[in-house]
Structure 1
Amino acid sequence: MSFEFSNKYLKQLSRAVEQEENEYIINEFDGMHSADISTVMEGLSAEDCKYILELLNPSVGADVISEIEDDTRNNFLTLFTPQELSKYMDNTDSDDAADILNDMPVKVREEVLASMNNNEKVQYIIDLLHYEEDCAGGLMAKELVKANINWNVSQCIEEVRRQGQNVDKIYTVYVVDDHDILLGRISMKKLLIANDLTKVADLYEPEIAKVYSYLDEEEVADIMQHYDLEVIPVINVQGRLLGRITIDDVVDVITEQAEKDQQAMSGLSEDVEETDSLIAMARARLPWLIVGMSGGLLGANFLGGFEEELSRIPAMAFFIPLITATGGNVGIQSSTIVVQSLASGGFQGSAMNRYLRVLVIAILNGLTLAALVYGFNMIFSDNHQLAIVVSFALFSVIMIASFMGTITPLVLSKFGINPALASGPFITTCNDLIGLGVYFMVAKALLH
């Protein structure tokens, strides 16, 4: 269940900050989860956030900074000095600390690192800052627990105790050789029940899922979903163990990608947040609105070439919205299903089988809707010729829109373009123009 609060509660907190009621503030947040504290801070001013954060334990404050939304965090962190920030970075996991510092100016980042007390953490962060944010190296944390294959169980458990002090959760113990080459894993259960003198080499499991540091974050998410993993090790091209990626980081990747796909399907040309300026939000919407408007203008000019058909059967104009709307809906349905399948890795099998399925579904839907429209026309109109034109055109538009909705995201994906673009104004505009063209060409062919 998500944490909820009211505007009254926020005003009460702001008043407590203004009046420096420190005991009340500390008691209010005592025992509250860091994610809930970050939710509260989303509704407060940057100054209030800073004041409250300074009253919290540094380890709790570090968790809150990691949980809070990027825009809010960047706003109030500018109020801290590098020395003040360093105590929070000392208590933050290396992957989160690298992400936070990466958003800061280079000079501030260097001063924060220079002020930190945990030298090992500093080196971890510096290593992580070399990786791109959207690859496995940018997702991983350096903190992990590893054991040498030549150790016995007693040595291994002693090292787990020592290394585990810097790790929030120990999911597994990685087994490496003298050069830190990843060889496999060993479960905590095996370590705890084995004889102290038993060699790690006799207990470890050599089969282990792993990813290279350069692998794209979405591929990492797919692998962890496929194997139902809570954590996955990261290696370099030589096979050396570099770090680990946990499920919470992958959930963030999946959420961000879903948001980007939704924005692309809505016709937004760039990533926008609620806190962005009005100009930025308008700029993100404008390109695809222009595409849609251009399609409408082309459609209007296109209609001018079929004045003769419209003059012969004026009632044809009544069915233009039906043709364009149905084509658009069918195209969006098809493209959305393909985009979802591509995202989940479910679009498998031979290409011919995929297209045959699309063809059969389109025929079934086309025949059903065409029959319904034909029946409607025959009941409410005595124009048999118009009924045939509209029904045949509708069937043709459904067939073409299904094909377009299927093939377009596949082509975009093939060329490395976000296939979600096909589910927005692009596919709608194309299907509107194609629908009008098919409608009037069918009319011209049948009427003549």
Structure 2
Amino acid sequence: MQFQLTTEFIDQIEQLIVQRDGRALKELLSEIHFADIADLLEELNSEEATYVIKLLESDITSDTLMELDEDVREKILDRLSPKEIAQELVEMDSDDAADVIAELDEEVQEQVIEEIQDEELAADLVELSQYDDKSAGGLMARELVKVKETWTIAGCVREMRRQAKNVTRVHSIYVTDKEGHLTGRLSLKDLLTAPDKAHISDIFIPKVDYVTVETDGEDVAKLMQKYDLEAIPVVDEEGMLVGRITIDDMVDFIKEEAERDYQLAAGISEDVEADDSVLLLTRARLPWLVLGLIGGLAAVFIMQDFEAALDRYAILFFYTPLIAAMAGNVGVQSSAIIVQGLANDVVKGSLFSRFVKELSLSLINGISLALLVVAFNQIIGQPVNVSLAIGVSLIAVIIMASIIGTFVPILLDKRGVDPAIATGPFITTSNDIFGILIYFYISKLILHF
């Protein structure tokens, strides 16, 4: 039966904490998965959550800490001593431990590293902290099972047993030469069926997909997705095997990138959450709102230039929101499709062929929608020339918005700028301005004002 975090259960936990009844608390939490414990801790205040962390064994709390929201984890870590943090890190995979280390102040980082008695782990954490957190080096874990191609099968099995004690899940077995360069991978089936006296060099598979420590995380994700990999080895500049990236870590990375792109597309310039401070939320949201305000003021000045025309054809004013809305909607649709295609690496072909495709699509959509508007205007008795001006303007605006929404993300991507920025207020505001400008100029040509 799936665990349910109820109000009654939380109240019971809080009561046991107040009573400092550690034995009853440990017994109550003993059968609960660490992910559910993390959900519980997020409902407690930082003092109560820290009490639970200190009470439970590190093999449970280390996993629990990694499931917590970063802000909650930061508050708990602030209440732990460097020695207590080090005890938690020892139980984590090196990549998770490196992530936790990165969240600490530099002074605390040094104190925690000094408290780690495992010199190899301490050295790994120092090395991992030097890589960009969005690169393969920043995403990899040092724990893996590797064998040398010169070993016999019997010796290989003994060594694998020793190494596997430090690896949470064994996805793959990697083969290296005497110096440690990655040369291939090993099939468990081939290992189990080979004679004991045979050598790894006789049975290993020399073809293996890998990435370097400098490979961008998004490129790693694409490679793992393309070849359905559960794990991928990481090598340094000299081809030495230095770590591996597993699918669970890659899923976390993809989720974080998707959340960041979603906020960027919504016009939020920083990574924020709903419970962040008012100051932080304002700083993240205000810049794009200012851009929208500037765009709105620009539209006002454009409409002022046609004030005389609005006196003569007041009906044009009432269709302005429709034109602006269609420009924004079409632009966001087009840019969203292209941004998704760029992320999945499926935007192929020449720019001219894509231009022709978008032009054809926008013509079909524009004419269809324009006919609906003209038909509606005739039903309500609008003059034919006014209906024609609105319809032609709508077609032109949809073509313009579609082209901008398609090519702005492509150009941003070629310039090394995240194209997700093009699906938010940037596209909406620019299309609103150009849409209104096109609307009134076409109306002026047709209505002769």
**Where on the TM-score scale, by shorter chain, does this alignment land: which range?**
over 0.9
**Native 8 Å contact 1:71 1:275 kept in 2:** no
- In 2, Cα distance between the equivalents of 1:335 and 1:365? 16
Q: Which residue of 2 aligns with 1:301?
A: 301
The reply on whether 1:229 has 2:234 as its aligned counterpart is no
Count of aligned pairs: 448
- In 1, Cα distance between the equivalents of 2:2 and 2:427? 37
| 1:351 to partner: Cα distance | 2.7
- In 2, Cα distance between the equivalents of 1:385 and 1:6? 65
Q: Which residue of 2 aligns with 1:366?
A: 366
**Native 8 Å contact 1:3 1:39 kept in 2:** no
- In 1, Cα distance between the equivalents of 2:46 and 2:184? 46
The reply on whether 1:421 has 2:421 as its aligned counterpart is yes
Amino acid at match of 2:401: A
Q: Which residue of 2 aligns with 1:121?
A: 121
| 1:382 to partner: Cα distance | 4.1
The reply on whether 1:142 has 2:142 as its aligned counterpart is yes
Q: Secondary structure at the match of 2:62?
A: helix
Q: Which residue of 2 aligns with 1:91?
A: 91
| 1:3 to partner: Cα distance | 5.8
Q: Secondary structure at the match of 2:319?
A: helix
| 1:310 to partner: Cα distance | 1.3
Q: Secondary structure at the match of 1:132?
A: coil
- In 2, Cα distance between the equivalents of 1:9 and 1:200? 54
- Cα deviation code 1:88-116 (max 9, x no counterpart): 11111111111101111222222222222
Q: Which residue of 2 aligns with 1:242?
A: 242
TM-score, with length taken from structure 2: 0.97
**Native 8 Å contact 1:153 1:196 kept in 2:** yes
Q: Which residue of 1 aligns with 2:316?
A: 316
Q: Which residue of 2 aligns with 1:190?
A: 190
- In 2, Cα distance between the equivalents of 1:319 and 1:129? 57
**Bigger mean CA deviation after superposition, 403-412 or 341-350:** 341-350
Q: Secondary structure at the match of 1:243?
A: strand
* Aligned positions of 1:95-106 closer than 5 A: 95-106=95-106
**Native 8 Å contact 1:362 1:399 kept in 2:** yes
| 1:2 to partner: Cα distance | 8.3
- In 2, Cα distance between the equivalents of 1:189 and 1:40? 42
Amino acid at match of 2:383: N
- In 2, Cα distance between the equivalents of 1:147 and 1:382? 81
**Native 8 Å contact 1:152 1:196 kept in 2:** yes
- Quote the RMSD (CA, aligned, Å): 1.4
Q: Which residue of 2 aligns with 1:178?
A: 178
- In 2, Cα distance between the equivalents of 1:7 and 1:356? 59
Q: Which residue of 1 aligns with 2:199?
A: 199
Q: Which runs of 5+ in 1 are unaligned?
A: none
- Cα deviation code 1:267-309 (max 9, x no counterpart): 1111112332111101111011011111111111110111222
- Cα deviation code 1:230-256 (max 9, x no counterpart): 100000111110100111111111101
Q: Which runs of 5+ in 2 are unaligned?
A: none
Q: Which residue of 2 aligns with 1:167?
A: 167
- In 2, Cα distance between the equivalents of 1:188 and 1:103? 38
**Native 8 Å contact 2:146 2:174 kept in 1:** yes
Q: Which residue of 1 aligns with 2:21?
A: 21
Q: Secondary structure at the match of 1:150?
A: coil
- In 2, Cα distance between the equivalents of 1:421 and 1:3? 40
| 1:349 to partner: Cα distance | 2.9
Q: Which residue of 2 aligns with 1:339?
A: 339
- In 2, Cα distance between the equivalents of 1:219 and 1:2? 36
Q: Which residue of 2 aligns with 1:10?
A: 10
Q: Secondary structure at the match of 1:166?
A: coil
- In 2, Cα distance between the equivalents of 1:8 and 1:331? 49
Q: Secondary structure at the match of 1:184?
A: strand
* Identity value in percent: 40
**Native 8 Å contact 1:309 1:443 kept in 2:** no
Q: Which residue of 2 aligns with 1:430?
A: 430
User: Which portions of structure 1, spanning 4 or more consecutive aligned residues, are displaced by more than 4 angstroms?
Assistant: 1-4
Residues 1:358 and 1:120: Cα distance change in structure 2 (over 3 Å): same
Amino acid at match of 2:43: G
Q: Which residue of 2 aligns with 1:441?
A: 441
* Aligned positions of 1:285-300 closer than 5 A: 285-300=285-300
| 1:4 to partner: Cα distance | 4.6
